Structure 1
């Protein structure tokens, strides 16, 4: 049974071109300058908030952050602290802020940030191994369409 619909275009166009390319960052913990969490009023920061901040401030892509990015991260720490103190209604905002900061692998993919192995040449184009490429002419011959 034939598939209905328009056949694929011989000259496909991407109507939404990429506005920026991938940013490659060596997967080495950031050890540059980063702000400490400010005083939290009269109470101490929750232990989980302090652990979160230490993990965030060491992410490799923090070397790209500007002063405003660090400010957003510090403001997010306030929400993390409230969440760990039982305010579960902060979870939705935390999820959005985590995506903006690139805290998870999926978030970094959306931001087009990739971690690379230290010393890896990121500018070299990936060339496939010729032995791993499927031979289409042999498959066509087996299917009877000729080659």
Structure 2
């Protein structure tokens, strides 16, 4: 299955310093507002002619979840267009056409729908960053953790110094 796996490693962290064969294109990011699920009509192909498409209530709830998700603040206009097309697939699945379920799963994975998807996309929630900041530095020495330690005098040391 193509497209699964971690993204390429940052060139600065690679063991070898081979140059990328294709230069990376840097784009200006413009956050886009989430569109509403559109009202539209479809040709039923029968005697009814054109009928109004009705979004399943479950798809409306699904859309509202994506609009309110933390990932949404990083969506551009093309992301919202792709997710709008995905909403049609979601509606198809909830209307009973389970043959569209694999495509739905692949599409929502691109947006970080599950914990596994977010890990693969290297997404973290801010609470995890705050918890990591409170964690002690790995590999700190006992002296750094507990300060300078002094041994207690043994009974032999007390006898030698004349203390009882």
Give me the TM-score of the superposition, normalised by structure 2: 0.55
Mapping of residues 101-140 of structure 1, within 5 Å: 101-117=111-127, 120=130, 127-128=137-138, 130=140
Q: 1:108 to 1:17 in 2, by over 3 A?
A: closer
Gaps of 5+ in 2: 1-6, 12-31, 42-51, 143-164
Q: Residue deviations 1:17-72, cap 9 Å, x none? A: 7138xxxxxxxxxxx83211111420210011001001111110211111000111
Please state if 1:81 is matched with 2:91.
Answer: yes
Mapping of residues 44-59 of structure 1, within 5 Å: 44-59=54-69
What secondary structure sits across from 1:57 in the alignment?
A: helix
Please state if 1:19 is matched with 2:4.
Answer: no
Deviation at 1:105, TM superposition (A): 1.4
Gaps of 5+ in 1: 1-15, 21-31, 133-147
What CA RMSD, in Å, does the superposition of the two structures yield over aligned residues?
A: 3.5
Which stretches of structure 1, 4 residues or more, deviate above 4 A after TM superposition?
121-126, 129-132
Partners of 1:40 and 1:131 lie apart in 2 by 66
What secondary structure sits across from 2:59 in the alignment?
A: helix
Give me the TM-score of the superposition, normalised by structure 1: 0.61
What secondary structure sits across from 2:35 in the alignment?
A: coil
Report which of the two structures shows the higher radius of gyration computed on alpha carbons. Answer: 2
Query: Does 1 or 2 have the higher relative contact order (CA < 8 Å, sep 6+)?
Result: 1
